[in-house]
Amino acid sequence: MTTTPTLAGLTVGQDIGSRTVEVTRTDLVKYAGASGDFNPIHWNEAFATGVGLPGVIAHGMFTMGSVVQLVTDWAGDPGAVIDFQTRFTKPVPVADTTGVPEPGAVIEVSGAIGALDADAGTARVDLTVVSAGQKVLMKAQAVVRLD
């Protein structure tokens, strides 16, 4: 049983955990259908390399949504996240692993309390997001309203 965090029980610098996000090209196609973003850089290798990318890349919003899951799981309520912002710094290339039991990309996410605001009843969670040894999101920060 997980315990819902409280503002009084947190300290700046406190670790909230980590998670690994495994991404396949099938995930990208599903996301394209859900989001309506059918840009071929997210599913067509020839097109993606033709425009100078290292290959098919994950949608930025797919990456952003996948990594904030760490915060929503920790908070125990997705509605507790009242703000989430980031800067995209590197694409997440997703290799074609059709027929292979491996993901095309792996995103590692860890989070720590970056700031507490007792007056607002919020905690800022700073996320570190890495794929293939490179930070792919910078200043990834979620603001969570807590009791």
Tokens 């290292």, residue located:
54
Residue range 12-56, pLDDT digits in tens? 999 999 999 999 999 999 999 999 999 999 999 999 999 999 999
Separation in Å, CA 48 to CA 41, 62, 107: 4, 17, 20
**pLDDT tens digit sequence for 79-136:** 999 999 999 999 999 999 988 889 999 999 999 999 999 999 999 999 999 999 999 9
What local confidence, expressed as pLDDT, does residue 93 receive?
98
Q: Residue ranges per domain, the chain? A: 7-145
Residue range 7-145 forms a domain whose CATH class is: alpha beta
